[in-house]
Amino acid sequence: MKMFLQGRWQERGTVAEVVHPYDGAVLDTVPVGVPADITAALDCLEQGAAVMRALPTHRRVEILRRTAQLMAELQEDLARLISREEGKVLAEGRIEAGRAMETLDLSADAARDLHGETVPLDATPSGVGKLGFTLRVPCGIVAAITPFNFPLNLVAHKIGPAIAGGNAVLLKPASDTPLSALKLVELLLEAGLPEEAIACVTGPGGELGEAICADARVRKISFTGSAEVGEAITRAAGLKRVTMELGSNSPVIVLDDADVAKVARTLAVTGYANAGQVCISSQRVIATPGVHVDLLDALRTEVQQLVAGDPLAEGTQVGPLIRERDAARVETWLGEAVTQGAELLCGGSRDGSVVQPALLANVAPEMKLSCEELFGPALGVTVAPDVEAAIALANETRFGLSAAVFTQDIDRAMRFAREVDSGNLHINFGTAWRAEIMPYGGLKDSGFGKEGPRYAVQEMTESKMVVIHG
């Protein structure tokens, strides 16, 4: 595929292969963009920002709705494209394609709800006789830097609200999974988005990211990825507005009164979906003594039943990791945990980019499996003596994106909600759950700012105060 900038699809002399994570088959090639391409794209997007600012709200709504309709007509093709380039099983690809359509529809709703407010200036003596109101206006050019693990929906979560808010968009998709993003750009253009209002530059994240951060014409950056890269972008961005959706190592507290069978069934999904390559994947299970042994038995039964392998094969539940080196890293981390005293109850072996779903007991808080983001198909179980200790362990991390508790006690559930430092909190379900409509974002090193179309539109627009003096 070609990349899109300056209002047209373009090739470059150097290309990068996009490969299937499972078998390494070449799916397509994309141009390797350079910093000069970012500059050229922004030259055109400056004009696009003016066009979008003048575009009536109803036209932005129509473009987003039409794009969602076009996606619905191609849902199975999109699902297969997602699964082929990212490696998630086809059922998960279908879910993602459907969620991306929903994201664009919700973005259209958010465009209609975008408005200012009156300000009662006469609430102070100096404001008597004056009329005040606010206007919400576009930022101008929004840069969207997106990850590999949801190559369509997380692109939609940035592009949809940006368009809804009347902005032009510079998209830099993940190098491993650019095809879904390019297809979405194609559909947006078909739906009527002005050609000068969007650019999609493919290539290395480091070089292109630096160019994006360095250019003052970019007024807003929305990034999803690792905490380390997010910190680098934030430092380089200076006074630009930024939204950071970063990593996590999500804890799940299981108290003595929990339904063990339900917990095990749930965690077999929320800990292993997309081979654990989900920012909010359940990773740390913290169980109290009364439930610990039964939970390990139930979890082992569920995890051992998971089928890992070819993501396009019927019956596969866990696909490959995005790259073989990532699978090797996960294998190493699991080995390190066992060396340090953890017990491997099942799984953990590796064949190329596929890691068999793993379950570990006796995982200590100081192990890498507890401290860092694994981004792989494994759960580590730790024992805590009581709810106080469990909450303390849940908070013993630099991350705070998603956390969960299983209990039938409403008082302990609400204590969890109040005391656990996380942007998303789930009661009687796992951590890997998100509705497109909800505000989504983290605390601590998991980032700042909110996604979800209604909330992202607010982040991608600015408020102007107008005062009419009598």
Give the separation between CA 465 and CA 135, rounded to whole angstroms: 7
Catalytic: 46? no
CA torsion sign for 402, 405, 406, 407 is: negative
Give the separation between CA 347 and CA 318, rounded to whole angstroms: 12
DSSP 3-state of 145: strand
Considering the candidates 102, 279, 436, 451, report the single residue annotated as catalytic.
Answer: 279
Considering the candidates 96, 245, 302, 451, report the single residue annotated as catalytic.
Answer: 245
DSSP 3-state of 29: strand
- Interior/surface letters 225-243, b for 16+ CB within 10 angstroms, e for the rest: bbbebbebbbeebeebbbb
The residues, any chain, with a CB within 8 Å of residue 389's CB and separated by 6 or more, are: none
Give the separation between CA 163 and CA 158, rounded to whole angstroms: 9
- Name residue 273's beta-bridge partners: none
Catalytic: 346? no
Environment class of 366 (CB within 10 Å of its CB; exposed 0-12, middle 13-18, buried 19+) = exposed
Question: DSSP secondary structure string, 214-273?
Answer: H-TT--EEEEES-HHHHHHHHHHHTTSEEEEE-----EEEE-TTS-HHHHHHHHHHHTTG
Give the separation between CA 147 and CA 35, rounded to whole angstroms: 19
Question: Contact 179/202 with Cβ under 8 angstroms?
Answer: no
Length of the chain as a residue count = 470
- Name residue 361's beta-bridge partners: 343
The residues, any chain, with a CB within 8 Å of residue 116's CB and separated by 6 or more, are: 133, 134, 135, 136, 463, 464
DSSP 3-state of 292: helix
277-to-31, 280, 303, 458 alpha-carbon distances in Å: 26, 9, 16, 28
Q: Give the pairing type, strands 461-469 and 130-138.
A: antiparallel
Question: Contact 268/431 with Cβ under 8 angstroms?
Answer: no
Residues with catalytic function:
245, 279
